[in-house]
Structure 1
Amino acid sequence: MTQGLIVTGTDTDVGKTVFAAALAGALGATYWKPIQCGLDGGGDSSRIGELSGLSPSRIHPEAFRLARPESPHRAAEAEGREISLAQLDLPPVEGPLVVEGAGGLMVPVNRHLLMIDLFAAWRLPVVLVARTALGTINHSLLSIEALNGRNIPILGIAFVGDEMPDTEHTIAAMGNVRRLGRLPRLAPLTRDSLAAAFAANFRLEDFS
């Protein structure tokens, strides 16, 4: 297992938090969401705790907890704050670390820095989470191109949603990335159903 992984998405609300919960739980990793925008329901760290089975000690506190559900730069400005790279060093942890980004790659962290710039500084392999719905080929290939343009290593792509074999194959082949698996829609979505779906559709050895 590599020491750390970044989980990011092709867009907001593609399912990356659910996937991050499944991955972190399967690995017994420490989870870290460095920037949380929007605190209704406790934020993504709270949801990770519910879905992953990780102990509270395995959920690292956010560097920034911002009340408004907006882009980080706007949410921070609303509170008279500015997020900088110097404030976002990777936390020292024992064992693997799963880091979840905020939104997609080109989300502004401040007026000069994008989320993808943080990933370039951290130099950890990225798992790109993509929905399987219409439009995902464009979003996914653009995201892969952006990561390649900054020489950020891509571990592979994980899909979330209904099975779309041709779409999934096309993205993996044209983007020259590994298809890691697909997490189906789960109803109900529980810790047990998520763990079972991850085990049935992904191989832990691929996350190394």
Structure 2
Amino acid sequence: MTQTFIVTGTDTGIGKTVFAAALAGALGARYWKPVQAGLDDGSDSERTAALSGLPIGHILPEAYRLVTPCSPHLAAEIDGVTIDLDRLALPQVDGPLVVEGAGGALVPVTRDILYADVFARWGKPVVLVARTALGTINHSLLSIEALRARGVAIHGIAFVGDPVEDSEATIAAIGKVKRLGRLPMLPELTSAALAQAFADAFDLADFA
């Protein structure tokens, strides 16, 4: 069975793509972002290609590339695109696969379907990425409840930011999720620096 991890976040702009790139690079995985909304600053796939150190062939093309930088459901409407859920079926690949959602777990893909609903259809474990800043306990526990309410398996939680021991431990304990590690904020975000930070902060055996 192909080793697949779905990467979602508690919010947007928290470092989810950086974590996904690090995980994909460490596993030598294929990376797939099903829906890209917003292209002015480049795509998450392009950023992952630059940060992961993966061969370009390991970065799979998006099912949808939407121009407007907002929630996929609205971006698709503005762009005049209808998102067909059949096109969001997980790709069949040889080896590990890392799939990145957009924003948080309850971001709408269409007017009727949230990302968490799509995750439930896929039936693969989710890694929840959370920042360590103020408010993360609430955001993280709400995300955990929303995923579990849909029967989505949570592989664990990965933090991004400066260490906040009590918040990280509290989320893991109350949410009953495995605390995988924490990526620090890097002074220079390069492929080599990210790979080293991931190796220092995470145990690859947790993703076996």
TM interval, short-chain normalised: over 0.9
Deviation at 1:40, TM superposition (A): 2.0
1:59 and 2:47 correspond? no
Match of 1:99?
Answer: 99
1:186-201 superposed matches below 5 A:
186-201=186-201
| Mapped partners of 1:24, 1:115: distance in 2 | 20
Encode CA deviations 1:33-72: one digit per residue, 9 max, x unaligned.
0000011232000000110001110000000000011000
Does the CA contact (< 8 Å) of 1:126 and 1:156 recur in 2? Answer: yes
Is residue 185 from structure 1 mapped to residue 194 from structure 2 by the alignment? no
Q: Work out whether residues 2 and 95 of structure 2, in 8 Å CA contact, stay in contact via their aligned partners in 1.
A: no
Write out per-residue CA displacement over residues 129-179 of structure 1, whole angstroms, 9 at most, x where no aligned residue: 000000000000000001111111100000000000000000000000000
Q: Which runs of 5+ in 2 are unaligned?
A: none
The aligned counterpart of 2:86 is 86
Normalising by structure 2, what TM-score?
A: 0.98
Report the CA distance between 1:94 and its aligned residue.
0.7
What are the ranges of 5 or more consecutive residues in structure 1 without an aligned counterpart? Answer: none
CA RMSD of aligned residues (A): 1.0
Query: Corresponding residue for 2:48?
Result: 48
TM norm structure 1: 0.98
Q: Which residue of 2 aligns with 1:109?
A: 109
Residue by residue, what CA displacement relative to the aligned partner does 1:4-34 show, whole Å, maximum 9, x if unpaired? Answer: 0000000001100000000000000000000
User: Using the alignment, how far apart are the partners of 2:175 and 2:2 within structure 1?
Assistant: 22
Q: What secondary structure, in the 3-state scheme, does the structure 1 residue paired with 2:41 have?
A: helix
Is the CA contact 2:68–2:79 (under 8 Å) kept in the aligned structure 1? no
3-state SS, counterpart of residue 11 of structure 1: coil
CA distance in 2, matches of 1:51, 1:87: 26
Using the alignment, how far apart are the partners of 2:79 and 2:22 within structure 1? 32
What CA distance in whole angstroms lies between the structure 1 residues aligned with 2:3 and 2:196? Answer: 24
Aligned mates of 1:57, 1:135 — CA distance in 2: 38
For the residue of structure 2 that corresponds to 1:61, the secondary structure is coil
Equivalent in the alignment of 2:122: 122
Shift of 1:2: 6.1
1:106 deviation in Å? 1.0
Percent of residue pairs bearing the same amino acid type = 66
The letter for the 2-side match of 1:172 is: A
